[in-house]
A and B are shown apart, each in its own frame.
Chain A
Amino acid sequence: MHLKSIILLVAVFILSCGKGKFTNQGDSGSIEETLNPSENEGEITTTESASLALGSKLKFKKQKLLEQEIMTSLSLSQNQICQELESLNCINEAHHLTLGGVDAYDKNIWENKNSFLETTPIVVERIVWSACEKRVALDLESGESKIFSKGSVSDSSHVGLMVSNLYQNILARDASENEIAAAKEFASNLEKNGGTYDDWARLSCFSLMTSVEFLFY
């Protein structure tokens, strides 16, 4: 069997395995194609100039823009988003270079030629998790309720409403019927695995805000 066919089979098998299988997968072929590395390893590059040379039309929301977007989407102040080791601002101190920022005074890096680094997705997950947890806590415990209101993970109608709020706040658009259905399926899978409404709220926020549609423009 041709080698590339084996790769595709493996990839499709993996993505169809595991808990929480999504029946409504949309154009799943696009993910596999995007995940498979290019033949020329040099094309998988993170420098801005190299990406432009390869025809990239997207930009990653670097440091300051990412911070602003999170603040706006989740109605949080700068200090509420994320602190590493309870003392360092995640975006401006701990991970500024990883997020595409500069460091003129200490490291004499006046220009960051990288769009992002290998570790940037990890850092983004850390930051977004912290921000989402904060938003959910404020919504459900203090009663501010900017995005989430109290409910149950098994209440499909309520979940659908919350998903709409999420998409509107984070992606500034309505969720499609397919997207709402997928989110409801996620809620159901989570409940089967012992997840609570709080868990679902945080994880939904996390999943949407670490998706490529939010992070790139």
Chain B
Amino acid sequence: MKKSKKNKKQVSRRSALKFTAGAASTATALSMVPSSLLGVNQSKVNEQDEDQKFLIVLTNFGGGSINDSFLALSEDEVRAAGGDPEVINCYKDSQLVAVDGTPFKAVKLEHTMPALGNFQVVSDQSEFLRRHKQDITVVTSEGTSVNHGIAQQRSVNGNEAWAGRTIQEVAASFYGQGFSIPNMNMGSGGYAFDGGDSSLESYARGMSVSNPLYWPLSLSSSAKVSGVPSKAMMDLARDFRLRGIESQSNFMKTFKDDPKLSSWLNHREKTRPRFEQENLFEKLFFLDGAGDAATEKAKAMFPRYNKDTFDAQAIMSYLAITKGVSSVVTLGPNSSTSTSDKGIYEFYNIPIAFDFSHNDHRGAQAHMWQRMLRVTDGLIELLKATPYGTKGESYWDKTMIYMASDFGRSKTRPAGSEVFGSAHDLNNASVLISPMLKGNRVIGGIDPKTALTYGFDPVTGSPDRNKKTSEKEFYSVLTSALDIDGSAAGLPDFRKIVKK
């Protein structure tokens, strides 16, 4: 098992922070202070570690059902198992595409959504499956909450599997040292929450990103600000603020030991100079013609960025990873509606995303899965085309995508209905996509009679009809897939089951 990075004998960020005080002129002091803390540009692009891994969490906001994507059931399958295909949420043969050499199915559906003004959904998951089947692992799971916010949190923290740490925080803790913003979180609702473990290294906590179009402005005190004077004058002003104003004040004398003040001053005096020195704004801002060739490629892949936040998030994710800014990114649709210039005749994001399944399950699931797979495919292609390191690898070779979902949806429908509403259901499965995993398979299984998923034997990995995969076990699949030692948190080691 790969050892925790904390066991390595290196100057950890925690101990290195003890030294920091900005640039120094004393040679002795300089030689003892790690360069990363002197504000020297420490772009991770120039230090491409062989053991580095990247995690992308794509959030199926509202509840993406595996029964309407890669584990979709045909009517024949349900019937052969003794189930009622009229009642079970299953598909006609004409609505499914069986892709050779894979246990998965692709839903291919054209559907009219009366609840959205007869919006026409056109969905075909088969091309994605053909292109990426070898990297896809579907892992069954069963949650414990049908509340969106709580379920969203549990889908990433395993229901307190590791002291509340989200998988993003854990991944950033192990693989994010030295990155400017190790854990970038563009998620919504419960996916945007911190894990709440106060002992987590502060660098691993998620940086909340509101709108990726404008958020890079918060990385620079002067970019796109009119009338800002020279850096020399600004430095004078900041120095005056610190030593001419604050040092003089009774306020500072009274509250100098306040932890909130300490946090603020550390962010102001260390984070800002570091972010500006590392040119984070220039790396991540992509409006108004800004950016380099890589940015242009990303914008070409996701051209809707001005109208569809999900496209903008995808561009941000690609830039953050490949420009050495982040090791973990979270992105996904939210509950807001977005449309093209055609208005309600062409939705990008339908209202409340996957949760519109309450009104029209087939349409919502088909449209949203298509939306998720479109962005996923684009990200994979960009990462594949971006070299990593010196051994002929790409960023994709180092990446795992986890498509998190609040929960599943109910497995039954009014007899024979194509237009029906569904409720929240704890039973589901999630999609992992990565060349690092033993792909093209299901960990667990699905019962065609009931459309319910079942778990796996934790020792052999074989499907086990008598078991459900718990949230903690699923979380352990994620940590194992990322080669992270979770034994300190009592997590089982599933590396042999999951990894190549």
Interface residues of A (CB under 8 A from B): 3, 6-7, 9-11, 13-15, 17-20, 22, 24-28, 30-31, 33-39, 41-47, 50-51, 54-60, 84-85, 88, 94-98, 103, 105-109, 113-123, 125-126, 129-130, 133, 176, 178-179, 182-183, 185-186, 189-190, 193, 195, 199, 202-204, 206-208, 210-213, 215-216
Contact = CB atoms under 8 A, between A and B. Distances in A.
B417 interface: no
A208 to B, nearest CB: 6
Given A6-B32, A121-B272, A85 B207 contact: no
Contact of A186 (B193, B226, B244): B244
A55 B246 contact: no
12 contacts: A14-B23, A18-B235, A30-B247, A30-B253, A31-B252, A39-B18, A45-B198, A56-B259, A60-B264, A126-B217, A204-B237, A207-B241
Given A31-B247, A98-B210, A212-B252, A122 B220 contact: yes
B266 A35 contact: yes
B233 A203 contact: yes
Contacts of B18: 3, 7, 36-37, 39
B297 interface: no
B385 interface: no
Given A179-B249, A183-B244, A19 B236 contact: yes
B139 to A, nearest CB: 26
Contact of A119 (B148, B207, B249): B207
Contacts of A129: 221, 225, 227-228
Contacts of B263: 44-46, 51, 115-116
Interface residues of B, number: 90
Contacts of A28: 243, 247
A123 B236 contact: no
A55 B201 contact: no
A179 B68 CA distance: 68
Contacts of B309: 106
Given A31-B265, A41-B17, A211-B241, 14 more contacts: A18-B235, A19-B232, A19-B236, A38-B262, A44-B202, A44-B266, A56-B260, A95-B210, A108-B188, A116-B264, A117-B208, A122-B218, A123-B217, A203-B236
Contacts, number: 300
Nearest to A120: B267
B278 interface: no
A84 B214 contact: yes
A98 B275 CA distance: 16
A37 B210 contact: no
B40 interface: no
B466 to A, nearest CB: 37
A18 B239 contact: yes
Contact of B236 (A15, A88, A182, A193): A193
Which 7 A-B residue pairs are closest in the complex by CB-CB distance? A182-B244, A121-B268, A108-B189, A213-B251, A11-B21, A207-B241, A30-B256
Contact of A122 (B25, B234, B272): B272
Given A109-B188, A123-B218, A38 B210 contact: no
Given A34-B261, A129-B225, A178 B199 contact: no
Interface of B: 13-14, 17-26, 28-29, 32-33, 148-149, 188-189, 192-194, 198-202, 207-208, 210-211, 214, 217-222, 224-229, 232-249, 251-253, 255-269, 271-272, 275, 287-288, 309, 334-336
A41 B243 contact: no
Contacts of A59: 260
Contacts of B207: 117-119
A213 B269 contact: no
A39 B13 CA distance: 12
Contacts of B267: 46, 116-121
B419 to A, nearest CB: 27
Contacts of B287: 85
B225 A20 contact: no
Contacts of A18: 235, 239
Contacts of A85: 214, 217, 224, 287-288
A207 B240 contact: yes
A213 B252 contact: yes
Contacts of A113: 193-194
A57 B258 contact: yes
A120 B264 CA distance: 9
A126 B256 contact: no
A193 B237 contact: no
Contact of B269 (A35, A105, A185): A35
B249 A106 contact: no
Contact of A84 (B13, B194, B217): B217
A126 B225 contact: yes
Contacts of B218: 95, 98, 119, 122-123, 126
